Structure 1
Amino acid sequence: MKNELDPSRVLRAYEMVMENGTPTEFGKIYEGLEAYSDYDGYNVFIRGNGVELKVGFHNTYHLEYDQEHLRDSFLKKVATLSK
């Protein structure tokens, strides 16, 4: 999975959620994806349906999931929002 994810597209999806989403305890939620950042903004997170994606400094990322089909569905949503 390494290098298959384009962090710039993830950041576009993050911005879409933050611009159009409904406030939550941590950030905002839109189209089933919740987006938020840490206190300094260096790390941004998008999560939904049992998957969490962290994009950090220098466009590093970490994707946590239990099942591949959930990961695939999550990444499709991220791709759709980043268009």
Structure 2
Amino acid sequence: MKNELDSRFVLAVFEKIREKGEEVEGGHMLEGVKAYSDLDGYTVYLEDAFVNLRYGFHNQYHFDYEKAEQLENFQRKLIAISKMD
């Protein structure tokens, strides 16, 4: 996930959070990661307390974070969620 995000991975994690996560204001939360989308559904957001991932149309994405270790922890959370049954 460092250089290029796999759209199937991001969307699968997004859907898993929506299906299995707890409904919270503006989205769903699972394992400390919140998932929500914009009104038209073209941009999805995955975020925890330290990292925000905006993933949009044409596979464009942007991470917001302050420290590399925050991004690494976030990536580990996404991988763990992707492996959940």
TM superposition score normalised by structure 1: 0.91
Q: Which residue type is aligned with residue 2 of structure 1?
A: N
User: Would you say how many aligned residue pairs link Structure 1 and Structure 2?
Assistant: 82
Give the whole-Å Cα distance in 2 for the aligned partners of 1:79 and 1:29.
15
Measure how far apart 1:7 and its partner are.
2.2
- The corresponding residue for 2:3 is 2
- The corresponding residue for 1:77 is 77
- The corresponding residue for 2:61 is 61
Q: CA RMSD in A?
A: 1.1
Percent identical residues: 39
Pair 1:25 & 2:25 matched: yes
Secondary structure of the corresponding residue to residue 62 of structure 1: strand
Structure 2 residue ranges without an equivalent (≥5): none
* Runs of 4+ off more than 3 Å: none
Give the whole-Å Cα distance in 1 for the aligned partners of 2:8 and 2:79.
11
- The corresponding residue for 2:34 is 34
Secondary structure of the corresponding residue to residue 46 of structure 1: strand
Give the whole-Å Cα distance in 1 for the aligned partners of 2:76 and 2:6.
13
Structure 1 residue ranges without an equivalent (≥5): none
Give the whole-Å Cα distance in 1 for the aligned partners of 2:38 and 2:61.
14
With 15-24 and 73-82 compared, the bigger mean Cα shift is at 73-82
Higher relative contact order (CA 8 A, sep 6+): 1
